[in-house]
Structure 1
Amino acid sequence: MEVKQGCWMIAEATGEAEQLEAKVRTLGWSVTRLSPPWSGCCLEDDSECRIGVVHVDGLSADRIGQLESLILRSRCLWLAVAAEDTLEAAESRKLIATLCHGLVAPTVESQELGCLMQQAHMMSTLQRHDVEQRGMTGAASNDDSEYEMVGSTPVMWKLFQMIRKVAAVEAPVFISGESGTGKELTAQAIHERSPRASACFHAINCGALPDHLIQSELFGHEKGAFTGAVQKKIGRIEATDGGTLFLDEIGDLPFELQVNLLRFLETRTIQRVGGLEDIPVDVRIVAATHVDLERAVEEGRFREDLYHRLNVLQIKVPPLREHQEDIEILARYFFERFAGEKPSHLRGISRDALLVMRQYSWPGNVRELINRMRRAMIMCEHRLIQPEDLGIERRKMSRQILTLEQAKERAEREALIAALGRNKNKIHPAAKELGVSRVTIYRLMEKHGVIRPESSAQPTA
């Protein structure tokens, strides 16, 4: 008899459970039996077991709690075996309804059980294959960043193109944008596409350090330079030699330290605090802020000469409300990015939730989107994330009144951009999907100001 892929089995040590295990083995499955207590069991390494069978009859409320925690940590689909009277208990009913792929009675015929197990095995294999494929074809993951730069709208294509252009040269870059738009990620993308990619990338938040520490943090200090300086310290600028240093919230840099940074940009040398030696350092500076530096210069809070030294090449990272068509792409990306945190019953995002997300103004931009998605994935008790799981109050959503013609124009533009994004910006498949000619696609692109990137592949920075 051919042995199929293995399966987990969770059951109390009862005669009924023994009979169920024997029936499963007779169907050709190898069984890995898990006996209580289940609080210490681990199913993270379940590559050989694509499905699970749980015998719910006779389990106490405490056992149900252990079982729920165990199943939530697993990656496979589960079939529940339970008698009708077991379903009258609220804990058992909730466990089966939210965490199990199917339900059968203990008296189930072998043929029916075998069909259900085979179906669950096929579904589990498809789901894993889908996740693996998305992992191979999506943006390369980076453990040092919360998310990759993802988007298919014209404003994001423009950003990606700008990143590639400025990455090829050595001049300082100034990145502006609201909080949460991804300025540090933009700086890292510039570094990774520059000739300095093999060297280090360091980031420092100028507004997060106390004034009395930031000079030592940037330039380092000699032993004995001040009370507590018991040994020499290499500063961030010197430690980044050959690489890229990202100075976030540069507008918060104390005025008296701005001259030190200006001197480094002019001479490419530094002096450690308490030292006299000029140390040459080869570092590219990328700076960013969410404040208006031009106004800060006018108000005397920021040196004009330093501003012009930093502001050689400019990049503006758009707020999320300016590329709302990317919200669905980003939401689905984060759903997969944090899939390890979600309960096993959660399968995706509902259409109502996506609608609410498109109508929301996102004052916290992409950072807020990440936080709300992670919250929703943990709190959701349904198979699909609902609007209430996101924690967005409908009264806070923007209520822009559109005429019928404006609504049609917006829908047409969103459909065009979505079709191009799904088809890697290729005209023919996008036209086929929308049921129009290639000429119509070109006409719509011109009408709505939609441009394709230089490469025909879907752009990711």
Structure 2
Amino acid sequence: MNDNARPKLLIVEDDEGLQRQLRWAYDDYDVVVASDRSTAIDMLRAEEPAVVTLDLGLPPDPDGVSEGFATLAEILALKPDTKVIIASGHGARESAMRAIASGAYDFYQKPVDIDELGMIVKRAFHLHAIEADNARLAAQPTEDARVLGGMITAAPEMLKVARTIERVANTDVSVMLLGASGTGKELLARGVHQASSRKGGAFVAINCGAIPENLLEAELFGHEKGAFTGAVKTTEGKIELAQGGTLFLDEVGDIPLPLQVKLLRFLQERVIERIGGRKAISVDTRIVCATHRNLEEMIAEGSFREDLYYRLAEIVVRIPTLAERPGDAALLAKHFVKMFASTMNPTVKGLSPDALAAIDRWPWPGNVRELENRMKRAVIMADGKLVTAADLDLDGGDDDHGDGDQINLKAVRDAADRKAIRRAIARTEGNISNAAKLLGISRPTLYDLIKQHGLQV
């Protein structure tokens, strides 16, 4: 099918007047109609519609539901991924619940509310597209989704990052990884190491923001016995331990200025002195660093040395957020389900359609780390074979594809506001001033909206 073709919608309805009304109502879709089971199945085979609206009262049983249920069963047997929306004025809710139990996607009651049905149809198409994308990704060989020996991605934005890193890995240039917290900076740093000629050496990582300032120098440069109280033996620092390998300095923007001077000297001369020592020690190590902070602003403020920045940032790689990596959230979620289920809840086999839809629309402000944590909790809490949206505890208020009952204008506006605010905050890495600029409002207005909608930032 042509990628630009409109999605196909099959309307199974024996009332010709309602057929015409529904056909006219859906300009966004390629609508085909059928008035009985035989024609409906022929249309299903020929047109392969993603979504079907089905009246249960079809000839030769227009006053009952038997023919409608037979049609539903045949549709799902032929194309199980079809989203079937049931219409019924016969026994209404009881028949609708029975249809959903039999595999229907949703229902609506006659007389038809075109706007309400339109939202249900739109949501069904959206979910079908998500499931189709995930089926396509799942069908790809595993190696197509894995890059740099471990990172899972199918997004062009992330594959571009991977290609850049692979190209620079075999050089000895310093690499700086810039990205929000939770985007996988350490995994990419390991990828640099594993793709380089230094992969036989050690990969040593240190989070400069997690170590108290008075201890960081000793952690990096080591110390001699007796250099300070508690120094009962000579200890090599992280720089020495990375001899012949790679040193990963995470959150390098948190290194205090006095220590920046000492680090710069090492980068220039490739020698260090341990605390309390007088001997110059030559060290051959490759530096990869990362930060979520804006180092250029810090340089302007005088809190980060410009000469150190240029030594560390010979190659700069900007890592996209998970929200900027289309399809990766679902791909990673499936990976985490398999990983955690094997040890924590072996009965769990995958993700339900509503879970995939919730994962797709969530902005993931905490990036891959947030996704991993949510999946771990969801796998533990799941009662059935599939992790559901309820297990994930994701707020459904961001669903711009709408709930069938949510057509109140204020509710729709509030949902849109929440979604825009969350995405702006995620894309600016939690910087409220930049998020306000992105949204085109003032900083106080954004704070008011955050408070009004009860958002956590």
Q: Bin the TM-score by the shorter chain.
A: 0.5 to 0.7
Aligned to 1:151: 153
1:384 paired with 2:381, answer no
Match of 2:283 among 268, 273, 281: 281
For residue 427 of structure 1, what is the aligned residue in structure 2?
Answer: none
Separation in 2, partners of 1:251, 1:392 = 33
Match of 2:254 in 1: 252
Q: Deviations over 1:179-221 (max 9, x none)?
A: 0000000000000000000110010000111111110110011
Q: Partner residue of 1:13?
A: none
Deviation at 1:223, TM superposition (A): 1.2
Aligned to 1:374: 376
Counterpart mapping for 1:28-427 below 5 A = 148-395=150-397, 397=398, 399=400
1:159 Cα offset (Å)? 1.2
In structure 2, give the amino acid aligned to 1:337.
M
| Equivalent-residue separation in structure 1 for 2:254 and 2:171 (angstroms) | 27
Partners of 2:262 and 2:399 in 1: how far apart? Answer: 45
Q: Is the 8 A contact 2:264 2:308 kept in 1?
A: yes
Query: CA distance change for structure 1 residues 358 and 262 in 2, over 3 Å: closer, same or farther?
Result: same
Q: For residue 360 of structure 1, what is the amino acid of its counterpart? A: W
Change in 2 beyond 3 A, CA 1:180/1:351: same
The CA deviation at 1:345 is 2.9
Residue identity over aligned pairs, in percent, reads: 47
Pairwise CA distance, 1:379: 0.3
CA distance in 2, matches of 1:325, 1:311: 30
> Which structure 1 segments of 5+ residues have no match?
1-132, 402-461
Residues 306-360 of structure 1, C-alpha deviations (whole Å, 9 max, x = no match): 0111110011111000013112211111112223234343221011110111100
Alpha-carbon distance in 2 for matches of 1:343, 1:264:
49
CA contact (8 A) 1:202 1:236 kept: yes
Change (3 A) 1:369 1:340: same
Q: 1:168 to 1:398 in 2, by over 3 A?
A: farther
CA shift, 1:137, in A, is: 5.0
Q: Quick check: 1:140–1:148 contact (8 Å CA) kept in 2? A: no
Q: Distance in 2 between matches of 1:314 and 1:400?
A: 38
CA contact (8 A) 1:188 1:201 kept: yes
Report the AA paired with residue 243 of structure 2. D
Give me the TM-score of the superposition, normalised by structure 2: 0.55
* Distance in 2, Cα, partners of 1:345 & 1:313: 46
Q: Is the 8 A contact 1:222 1:231 kept in 2?
A: yes
> Structure 1's 344 and 277: CA in aligned 2 closer, same or farther, altered over 3 A?
closer
Paired residues of 2:239 and 2:247 also in contact (CA < 8 A):
yes
Change (3 A) 1:330 1:141: closer
**Contact map agreement 1:341 1:377 (CA 8 A) in 2:** no
CA change 1:257–1:341 in 2 (3 A) is: same
8 A Cα contact 1:139 1:148, kept in partner: no
In the alignment, is the contact (CA less than 8 A) between 2:176 and 2:317 conserved in 1?
yes
Distance 1:338 1:375 in 2: 9
Report deviation, 1:148.
2.8
Q: Secondary structure at the match of 2:289?
A: strand
| Contact 2:341 2:349 survives alignment (8 Å) | no
Cα distance in 2, alignment partners of residues 400 and 171 from structure 1? 47
Q: 1:277, CA displacement in angstroms? A: 1.1
CA–CA distance in structure 2, aligned partners of residues 294 and 347 of structure 1 = 46
* Distance across 2 between alignment mates of 1:300 and 1:242: 33
Distance 1:219 1:303 in 2: 19
**Helix, strand or coil for the counterpart of 1:338?**
helix
Q: Distance in 2 between matches of 1:149 and 1:234?
A: 31
Q: Cα 1:183–1:364, aligned 2, differ >3 Å: closer, same or farther?
A: same
- Per the TM alignment, residue 373 of structure 1 is displaced from its structure 2 partner at its CA by 0.7
Contact kept, 8 Å, 1:341 with 1:378, in 2: the verdict is no
Aligned 1:21-32 pairs, distance under 5 A = none
CA 1:308 to 1:398, structure 2 compared with 1: closer, same or farther past 3 Å?
farther
SS at match of 2:287: strand
How far is 1:165 from its partner? 0.8
- Supply the RMSD in Å over aligned alpha carbons: 2.4
- Higher relative contact order, chain-length normalized (CA < 8 Å, sep 6+): 1
